[in-house]
């Protein structure tokens, strides 16, 4: 029987860490080669893609875009920019109309510079920021370039000071920091109250498996790796090209009868390589000469 290779999309509950979810998947499938795509804080729920077997090698090629739905609490500032942290200050939120909230959200959309939370995984002098923060250190973290593709106001409750938002953003974006920055711009403080990730690495909640499912019955079936590679161009191998590909030889970029034409130029672009039966054979990258250089070869010869 071939070794498992694919993705398990978990619907993570609040409480477990992402590392704990990986450990549960390892126990369920009896494998060590398991990795997750995109850490979720323990309090955050939703989509946590888990790569199983040789699919772990595909993680660098997956789309980094993510989507969330969350609740922001105005009127409070905390050490971690969410309600899990120590409360630093409380203020009454101002009376805000929908139009005023939209105006405050606008500068947080698009390509922005965002300062990570003090409690984050950012490295500071070789140490994670959250480790230093737990020692009581205050750090001047450098803002980072991120892209907020979508920031939509879904609901606003002026009585409680809560607003619901939908976010689609690039990898490395902190929703906690969006909550903090919104509160700062309004002069009342803000913190993330609840968050659910709805999309990550090309997967969404459709068909996501609850974590407790791993403790009952047979291991859930894995998702085809190609599901996560829809953003890549594809090149199909002919039967004659299978042996050279498995030996790591470059491919011509021109289309074959079995596949669609690539959109040129392809220099530096990753391309999914398919076997004649349509399954994933690996990943190649275009070079300046218009050839496809193997970067990842499944079932390599030798």
Report the alpha-carbon distance of residue 203 to residue 228 in Å, rounded. Answer: 7
The sign of the torsion formed by the CA atoms of 283, 271, 29, 45 equals positive
Are 198 and 67 in contact by the 8 Å Cβ rule? The answer is yes
Which alpha helices (H) appear in the chain, and where do they start and end?
A: 18-29, 98-105, 129-134, 175-186, 242-246
Report the alpha-carbon distance of residue 92 to residue 270 in Å, rounded. Answer: 51
CA dist 32 → 24, 29, 265 (Å): 11, 9, 39
CA dist 13 → 8, 18, 28, 149, 208 (Å): 15, 10, 17, 26, 12
The sign of the torsion formed by the CA atoms of 59, 62, 68, 74 equals positive
Confirm whether 41 is a catalytic residue: yes
Shortest CA distance to 22 belongs to which of 226, 174, 214? 214
Are 255 and 261 in contact by the 8 Å Cβ rule? The answer is yes
Within the chain, how many helices (H) and strands (E) appear?
5, 19
Q: Would you call 84 exposed, middle or buried from its count of C-beta atoms within 10 A (0-12, 13-18, 19+)?
A: middle
Which one of the listed residues 41, 81, 82, 181 is annotated catalytic?
41
Report the alpha-carbon distance of residue 53 to residue 180 in Å, rounded. Answer: 39
User: Could you give the residue numbers annotated as active site?
Assistant: 41
């Amino acid at each position: 029987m071939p070794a498992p290779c694919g993705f398990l999309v978990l619907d993570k509950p609040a409480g477990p860490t992402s590392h704990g979810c990986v450990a549960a998947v390892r126990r369920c499938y009896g494998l060590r080669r398991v990795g997750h795509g995109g850490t979720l804080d323990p309090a955050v729920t939703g989509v946590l893609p888990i790569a199983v077997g040789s699919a772990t090698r595909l993680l660098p090629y997956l789309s980094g875009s993510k989507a969330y739905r969350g609740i922001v609490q105005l009127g409070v500032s905390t050490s971690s920019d969410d309600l899990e942290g120590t409360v630093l200050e409380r203020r009454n939120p101002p009376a805000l109309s929908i139009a005023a909230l939209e105006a405050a959200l606008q500068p947080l959309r698009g390509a922005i510079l965002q300062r990570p939370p003090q409690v984050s995984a950012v490295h500071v002098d070789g140490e994670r920021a959250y480790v230093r923060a737990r020692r009581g250190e205050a750090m001047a973290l450098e803002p980072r370039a991120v892209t907020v593709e979508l920031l939509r106001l879904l609901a606003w409750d002026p009585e409680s000071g809560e607003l619901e938002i939908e976010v689609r953003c690039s990898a490395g974006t902190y929703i906690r920091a969006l909550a903090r920055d919104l509160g700062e711009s309004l002069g009342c403080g803000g913190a993330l109250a609840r968050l659910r990730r709805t999309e990550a690495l090309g997967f969404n909640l459709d068909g996501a498996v609850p974590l407790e499912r791993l403790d009952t019955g047979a291991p859930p079936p894995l998702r085809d790796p190609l599901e996560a590679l829809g953003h890549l161009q594809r090149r199909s191998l002919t039967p004659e090209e299978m042996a050279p590909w498995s030996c790591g030889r470059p491919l011509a970029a021109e289309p074959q009868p079995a596949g669609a034409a690539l959109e040129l130029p392809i220099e530096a672009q990753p391309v999914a390589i398919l076997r004649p039966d349509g399954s994933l054979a690996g990943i190649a990258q275009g070079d300046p000469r218009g050839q496809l250089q193997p970067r990842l070869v499944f079932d390599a010869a030798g």
